Amino acid sequence: MSPSHIHVPTNCRTVTEILSRVGDKWSVQVVVQMGEGPKRFNELRRSVTGISQRMLTLTLRGLERDGLVTRTVYPTIPPRVDYQLTELGCSLLRTVRGLGEWAIQNRDEILAARRRFDEGGAGHDSSELRPDAA
pLDDT of residue 8: 63
3-state secondary structure of 37: coil
What domains can you pick out in the chain, each with its CATH number? 10-120 (1.10.10.10)
The angle, 0 to 180 degrees and rounded to 10, between the axes of the packed helices 25-34 and 87-118 is: 130
What distance in Å separates the CA atoms of residue 35 and residue 90, rounded to the nearest whole number? Answer: 7
Is-contact 27 63, C-beta < 8 A? yes
Q: What is the pLDDT of residues 58-113, one digit of tens each?
A: 999 999 999 999 999 999 998 899 999 999 999 999 999 999 999 999 999 999 99
Is-contact 18 11, C-beta < 8 A? no
Q: Exposed, middle or buried, 63 (CB in 10 Å: 0-12/13-18/19+)? A: buried
pLDDT of residue 40: 95
What distance in Å separates the CA atoms of residue 104 and residue 22, rounded to the nearest whole number? Answer: 20
With a threshold of 0.85, does the pTM exceed it? no
Q: Is the pLDDT of residue 1 over 80?
A: no
pLDDT band of residue 14 (cuts 50, 70, 90) is: confident
pLDDT band of residue 129 (cuts 50, 70, 90) is: low
Q: What is the pLDDT of residues 16-59, one digit of tens each?
A: 888 887 788 899 999 999 999 999 999 999 999 999 999 999 99
